[in-house]
């Protein structure tokens, strides 16, 4: 099978033929139909997230199960699945309380290059082991995932569209539904109008927010935000968005979502909240980054919240989001602006880094 391999940070991915992997106990093999592109992959390439190399990246896939390993009872060949970024043990207190994104065993797989059992499945044509990314590695024609990370969905959903629910889109939507629990009539500011931010914006509209302010540096992204439900837009390249939000709302928003991964933007989002409001950090800043906020503002019951994947419970939430897409509530096809082949992966990543696309999908 063909796979895109990162051999060294800050170098292009290399397309190579590698061995088709075999699933072990509690794993399934998925023949990929599509995989979405995410800035987390870009962070790994740039070295902002340290990962072992060589590694096959990708963590937002969709495809069809073509083989199941021993011990897999609830999945079978031919099922359509979305491969999520968070495999989970199913046994720890986090899994037992519906918080699989913070499962310690699952998290241990993300950047250490291994599957949930601590071993590897991928080998190049010379038999040398390759590392996994988020225990998925969907920049390949087949991928192995733990059974908990293969989320069954309805067969009439187009896999080249719903692949975006594997991470980025679900993160933005879940941050609104699960982490913040935006209520009808609330005021919302979304910082960053990429795939995650626009997904948070769409979810805010579904939740009944009365004012939705979109903030970005690019007018074309702000135009898309207006088309998807933003009531107001602010270009942060020409004005201080915190000041602009305070003027638009007369005191700040109830909820601010930082969807960029910038510490400066995180601080600005917090400064944009009203007394009693909440700033939710959705974006991933470089490892070791720190932020500074005015502690006095916390005395007015402002909250600064982190979220991981929007506090998603994939097995419950992803099928629901796919249904919402199919009935027109979550029009994610409007934010998928580019499609690529696997051979075009480096062109795709470059376009994402330059902000030339909202959400890109690689189709196999």
CB 57 within 8 A of CB 6: yes
Residue 245 CA to chain centroid, in angstroms?
26
pLDDT for 35 equals 97
**Global pTM?**
0.93
Q: What is the pLDDT of residue 288?
A: 85
Write the burial class of residue 261 (CB in 10 Å: 0-12 exposed, 13-18 middle, 19+ buried).
buried
**Which of the residues in the chain have pLDDT under 50?**
none
Q: Are 133 and 51 in contact (CB under 8 A)?
A: yes
Distance CA(45)–CA(50), nearest Å, equals 9
Residue 161 · residue 325 · CB < 8 Å: yes
CATH for 2-152+331-363, options being 3.90.180.10, 3.60.20.10, 3.30.420.10, 1.10.10.10: 3.90.180.10
**Cβ atoms of residues 61 and 136 within 8 Å:** yes
The values of phi and psi at residue 113, to 5°, are 80, 20
CATH of 173-308, one of 1.20.1290.10, 3.40.50.720, 3.40.640.10, 3.20.20.140: 3.40.50.720
Closest by CA position to 204, among listed 244, 253, 263 = 253
Exposure of 96 in the CB half-sphere (CA atoms within 13 A) = 3
pLDDT at 131: 97
Note the Cα 277 to chain centre separation in Å: 24
């Amino acid at each position: 099978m063909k796979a895109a391999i990162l051999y060294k940070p800050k170098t292009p991915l290399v397309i190579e033929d590698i061995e088709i992997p075999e699933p072990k106990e509690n794993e399934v093999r998925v023949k990929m139909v599509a995989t979405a592109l995410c800035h987390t992959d870009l962070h790994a390439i740039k070295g902002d997230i340290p990962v072992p190399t060589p590694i096959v990246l990708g963590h937002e896939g969709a495809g069809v199960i073509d083989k199941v390993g021993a011990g897999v009872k609830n999945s079978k060949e031919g099922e359509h699945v979305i491969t999520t970024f968070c495999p989970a043990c199913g046994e720890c207190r986090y899994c037992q309380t519906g918080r699989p994104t913070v499962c310690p065993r699952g998290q241990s797989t993300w950047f250490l290059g291994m599957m949930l059992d601590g071993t590897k499945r991928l080998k190049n044509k010379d038999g040398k082991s390759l590392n996994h990314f988020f225990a998925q590695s969907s920049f390949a024609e087949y991928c192995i995932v733990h059974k908990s990370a293969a989320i069954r969905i309805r067969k009439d959903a187009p896999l080249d569209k719903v692949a975006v629910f594997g991470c980025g889109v679900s993160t933005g939507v879940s941050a609104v539904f699960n982490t913040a629990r935006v209520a009808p009539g609330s005021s919302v500011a979304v910082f960053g109008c990429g795939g995650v931010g626009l997904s948070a914006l769409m979810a805010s509209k579904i939740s009944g927010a009365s004012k939705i302010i979109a903030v970005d540096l690019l007018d074309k992204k702000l135009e898309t935000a207006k088309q998807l439900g933003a009531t107001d837009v602010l270009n942060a390249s020409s004005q201080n968005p915190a000041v602009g939000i305070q003027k638009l709302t007369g005191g700040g928003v109830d909820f601010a979502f930082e969807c960029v991964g910038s510490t400066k933007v995180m601080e600005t989002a917090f400064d944009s909240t009203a007394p009693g409001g909440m700033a939710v950090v959705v974006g991933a800043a470089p490892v070791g980054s720190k932020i500074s906020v005015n502690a006095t503002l916390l005395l007015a019951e402002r909250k600064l919240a982190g979220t991981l994947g929007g506090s998603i419970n994939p097995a419950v939430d992803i099928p629901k989001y796919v249904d919402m897409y199919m009935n027109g509530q979550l029009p994610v096809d409007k934010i998928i602006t580019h499609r690529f082949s696997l051979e075009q992966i480096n062109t795709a990543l470059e376009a994402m880094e330059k902000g030339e696309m909202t959400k890109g999908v690689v189709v196999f």
